Amino acid sequence: MDYDEECSIVLELSEKDPFFDKKKKLLQSKGFSPKERIYLKSCSKPGWMNATVEVLLQIARIIQLNELELYFAEDDVCASVEFYSSRNELEALNSIVLFTDISLSICSDLHTNLLQRLRQTILDLISDFGDKNSVKGTVEKEHRCDQEEGLIEWGENNGVTTQLKIAYIEGAGRGAIARKDLKVGDIALEIPVSIIISEELLRETDMYGILKEIDGISSETILLLWSMKEKYNCDSKFKIYFDTLPEKFNTGLSFSIEAITMLDGTLLLEEIMQARQHLHAQYDELFPVLSNNFPDIFPPELYTWEKFLWACELWYTNSMKIMYSDGKLRTCLIPIAGFLNHSLCPHVLHYGKVDPATNSLKFCLSRPCRYGEECCLSYGSFSSSHLLTFYGFLPQGDNPYDVIPLDIDDSDVDSIEDIPVSSWTTHMVRGTWLSKNHNIFYYGLPSPLLDNLRRSRSPMLRTKTFLQGSLETELEVLDNLKNIFDDMMHCMDEIDLDDRENCSWDENLAMDFKNLQRRIAHSVSTSCQTGMEMLKNELYKCMAEDIQG
Ligand SMILES: C[S@@+](CC[C@H](N)C(=O)[O-])C[C@H]1O[C@@H](n2cnc3c(N)ncnc32)[C@H](O)[C@@H]1O
């Protein structure tokens, strides 16, 4: 963003952006260039501020898209995007706040008022967006959190500052709630590096000396093996932290055979089986050899498969990747921050970088969190299958990252001169209810997928036209897609919801996941069906015109 005498803001898509070409194309399809100057001239017309903000936001949204959001971003000029994802919307709005802050720090007094009004408008939008799009956790007041409060007290004695307290949240275990009203930019939690558990901490231990000699062993595995023993160390500096950890994690990795079987017909079944096999193979490589060779350092009773799986789940559910001041990315356990739950509309977007000035990790708010409200992070742009396998929950609300991948052979898509083949190499669908554009040629489905399927049938096809040949190709494409998703639904038999009370935690999760997958497949099939009906109508019109002509 630039700021000049006339009070304009320049939003520029960085050429270093890994998706520069695709984003540039999308910007151009909406009538913007990769470098756009927006004048903030106050004018007499009512609503000029809203109009200016809308333009800023449209550009900022595209700049902030991640790869998956970009795949689904609609390239139709006529389709008005409400927002791409909560993550994207909050990133876009916060990027504008950041730039107005920078502008305010350098601008002349003449423009201060204008910039402050712009800033306040964006802050109001952030607040409204959070209110409309977040699913608020319900605090279970009957649970006490004495042990957790003990950990916070320990933290505060060791330099932690926090505006959060711990409470039980319905359906999510413990979570962190605001002790007072917090606004954008406030630091909800600050953790000094000295209480973060990372590889650095165990360099001096005997265990580290032995493990680092093992060929190809990762820092994560070393930390995992250390935590298996440290959990039982009464003299551990982190005893109070280990004491607050759950005895059982309930992730997809500890699904029973019955629950795994219920996933039949979904890709998750294979994913969970593979992840478990991978962990088992890793365990078998290390044990019982290490316990036999170094029984004092790896006591066999502490290094069982069950305890290994517990530690894997601890690290999958609770670790964070943190960039230290030396530029190294380390996988860490962070006492207290580990109470923060995940949300699709998080309060804290960025927390992964140590502030070198304070040598601490700061959890700053990207949207307000009111007194008593649960304060959430984003663990990442994860699909529900990933969250279920590695974290053991399905997020509430529409997860824009829930996709069904499609195995499409690109080899028969010819590259014709001056018609570049789409640069997307993998294809997918998601619930078509997430799309705003269900018009002919779009059908709520992703354009890169449709383009690929069109090209494989009709390589010369250049535009979406109402010519008979083009419409026939469209019909074939939709018919083919519909068959794929009808077959998929057929393989995922419907689950009877009547007996849920008697189901175990993992069977319930498996059922929820399968129903979600069915819902996505059903929405694609229905959108294809609706699209085919639109196309048939157009084809009849074409034929009628031909006959008349
Ligand atoms: C980093 S811990 C967060 C604290 C955790 N709730 C506890 O009681 O220890 C991550 C775990 O919290 C739970 N969790 C996080 N976000 C959730 C959500 N949105 N819904 C349900 N459970 C969630 C899952 O069990 C996940 O593995």
Query: What value of ipTM does the predicted structure carry?
Result: 1.00
Q: What percent of the chain has pLDDT over 70?
A: 93
CA distances from 386 to 44, 135, 274, 403 (A): 51, 20, 13, 11
**CB count, 10 Å around CB of 461?**
18
pLDDT of residue 513: 96
Omega within 30 of 0 (cis) for the link into 420: no
Ligand 1 centroid–CA 149 distance in Å is 18
pLDDT of residue 374: 98
pLDDT of residue 385: 97
Q: Report the nearest-CA residue for atom 4 of ligand 1.
A: 339
**Which numbered atom of ligand 1 lies nearest the CA of 318?**
1
pLDDT of residue 134: 93
Pocket perturbation via mutation, ligand 1, pick of 342, 347, 376, 388 by most ligand atoms within 8 A of CB: 342
pLDDT of residue 7: 78
Residues of the chain with CATH 3.90.1410.10: 139-389
Ligand 1 centroid–CA 393 distance in Å is 7
Ligand 1 centroid–CA 451 distance in Å is 39
User: Could you tell me if 318 and 340 are in contact, meaning their C-beta atoms sit under 8 angstroms apart?
Assistant: no
Local structure of 398: helix, strand or coil: coil
**Which numbered atom of ligand 1 lies nearest the CA of 251?**
27
Ligand 1 centroid–CA 342 distance in Å is 7
From CA 286, how far away is CA 307, in angstroms rounded?
A: 14
Whether residue 392 has its Cβ less than 6 Å from ligand 1: yes
Whether residue 378 has its Cβ less than 6 Å from ligand 1: no
Residues of the chain with CATH 3.90.1420.10: 8-133
Give the residues of the chain that fall short of pLDDT 50: 1-4, 416-419
**Which numbered atom of ligand 1 lies nearest the CA of 317?**
27
Whether residue 395 has its Cβ less than 6 Å from ligand 1: yes
Ligand 1 centroid–CA 268 distance in Å is 20
Whether residue 173 has its Cβ less than 6 Å from ligand 1: yes
Q: Report the nearest-CA residue for atom 10 of ligand 1.
A: 317
**CB count, 10 Å around CB of 417?**
5
pLDDT tens figures, 54-78: 999 999 999 999 999 999 997 665 6
Q: In angstroms, how far is CA 449 from the centroid of its own chain? A: 21
From CA 528, how far away is CA 523, in angstroms rounded?
A: 9
Question: Dihedral angle at the C-alpha atoms of 508, 395, 71, 469, nearest 10 degrees?
Answer: 50
| Backbone torsions φ then ψ of 492, nearest 5 degrees | -100, 90
How many helices and strands in the chain, by DSSP H and E?
A: 17, 14
Q: Report the nearest-CA residue for atom 23 of ligand 1.
A: 172
pLDDT of residue 461: 64
Q: According to DSSP H, which parts of 325-430 are helical?
A: 384-391
Residue linked to tokens 């080899």: 411
pLDDT of residue 1: 45
CATH superfamily of 139-389: set domain protein methyltransferase, domain 1 (3.90.1410.10)
Ligand 1 centroid–CA 179 distance in Å is 20
Q: Provide the CATH number for the domain formed by 8-133 in this structure.
A: 3.90.1420.10
